[in-house]
Amino acid sequence: MRTTFSKDDIAELKKNPCVFDCTEKSVYYTHEFKQRALQLQIEGVRTKEIWKRAGFDVHKWKDEYFRCTLRDWRKVVERYGVEGLTNPGGTPHDRGTDRTSKDVIKRLELQVKYLEAENDFLAKLRAKRAESNSGRAKSTIFSER
């Protein structure tokens, strides 16, 4: 059985910078998120963890959703290349050359939100690493030329 989303779920999903649009039965992800998700999977990140890192409540979907979605995206990339993720075979809102200026603006706004969220995540990660490294003895040896 397919997951259906309530109006509250849809409103929440649309706030996520990785979501281009959402309906009761479908979530349309941004091209950037699809590419990043596939890259993370190649790096060995578990499929459910990819959605968690992107800020999604993974309990809204069945466990196999994540694996199957990435499998479908991988098939599109194998057949059409990375640009295949923006072609009509991908999501109807992500069609590439057939965009209106309103769609372009929305895409760019979402891309900015996604990049800001990614930068925030990386800043927190750097701070956490710096905090964990602060207890270690620092090397004071400098190489001279």
pLDDT tens digit string along 87-125? 544 444 444 445 567 777 877 888 888 888 888 888 988
Q: Quick one: which of 95, 86, 93 has its CA closest to 34?
A: 86
Could you give the number of structural domains in the chain?
Answer: 1
With respect to residue 2, please indicate whether it lies within any of the assigned structural domains.
Answer: no
As a whole number, the mean pLDDT across the chain is 81
With respect to residue 52, please indicate whether it lies within any of the assigned structural domains.
Answer: yes
- CA 17 to CA 116: how far, in whole Å? 9
With respect to residue 80, please indicate whether it lies within any of the assigned structural domains.
Answer: yes
Instruction: Note the pLDDT of residue 106.
Output: 78
With respect to residue 70, please indicate whether it lies within any of the assigned structural domains.
Answer: yes
With respect to residue 139, please indicate whether it lies within any of the assigned structural domains.
Answer: no
With respect to residue 144, please indicate whether it lies within any of the assigned structural domains.
Answer: no
With respect to residue 138, please indicate whether it lies within any of the assigned structural domains.
Answer: no
Q: Quick one: which of 30, 55, 51 has its CA closest to 106?
A: 30
pTM of the model: 0.60
Q: Write out the residue range of the structural domain in which residue 28 sits.
A: 7-133
pLDDT in tens, 39-77: 999 999 999 999 999 999 888 888 788 999 999 999 999
Q: Are 13 and 27 in contact (CB under 8 A)?
A: yes
With respect to residue 16, please indicate whether it lies within any of the assigned structural domains.
Answer: yes
